[in-house]
Amino acid sequence: MWCTRGGPISAEPRINDRIRVPEVRLVGPSGEQVGIVPLAKALELAQEYDLDLVEVAANARPPVCKLMDYGKYKYESAMKAREARKNQAHTVIKEMKLRPKIDPHDYDTKKGHVVRFLKQGDKVKITIMFRGREQSRPELGFRLLQRLAEDVEDLGFVESNPKQDGRNMIMVLGPHKKKTEAMAEAREAQAARKAGRQQEQSAADEPAEEPAEA
């Protein structure tokens, strides 16, 4: 938001001597309700506890202020926001294009990509491209899409049924698992592989036992 004059309004709460009201409703450092006290008394308590007086509800009457370590609070809030952004997962739509008369090897390769995308928690848009006389045989594309959907049904489902779009036929597959679940499983699998490699390395580094003397 912008004020009429003087530039942008700060989103930061007012703290300590920036608070300009005669009295505040004070909340203690552990969340306990202290009550309505003069501002000078609230600032005195903040100094006594070696904390900041932070205005947390400016529109209340009187404003609500809390005793806290504002620097620590800002740091923890930033870390929580960063972690939330890190864990936030947006479903991505991948695209895979096939020809109606695809050979078995190419089909297996394309199916492998679709499997990988679904395991990652992404949607997959499958496009069958018709060329020339193939356009008069849409059932070829339909059967191919049906076959692919059946081959990956343990990982995904048909979110959008096959439909003709000009010279193409399109179907969308959705993953059974959410993106966040897929990412969590991938991290766990990676951690397990790392632990396995470390155990193998430790075993390899151990000295061989000396044969017992007769």
48-103 pLDDT, tens digit each: 999 999 999 999 999 999 999 999 989 998 998 888 776 665 667 899 999 999 99
> pLDDT band for position 47 (50/70/90)?
very high
Residue 86, domain member (yes or no)? no
| Claim to verify: residue 53 and residue 125 sit in the same structural domain | no
Provide Rg for the chain, Cα atoms: 31
| Claim to verify: residue 105 and residue 164 sit in the same structural domain | yes
Residue 176's φ and ψ, nearest 5 degrees, are -70, -35
| Claim to verify: residue 111 and residue 154 sit in the same structural domain | yes
Residue 8, domain member (yes or no)? no
139-171 pLDDT, tens digit each: 999 999 999 999 999 999 999 999 998 899 999
**Model confidence at 22: pLDDT above 70:** yes
The per-residue pLDDT for 62 is 94
Distance CA 145, CA 161 (A): 9
Residue 1, domain member (yes or no)? no
Domain count, the chain: 2
Q: Which domain holds residue 134?
A: 93-175
Q: What CATH number does the domain containing 59 carry?
A: 3.10.20.80
The per-residue pLDDT for 54 is 95
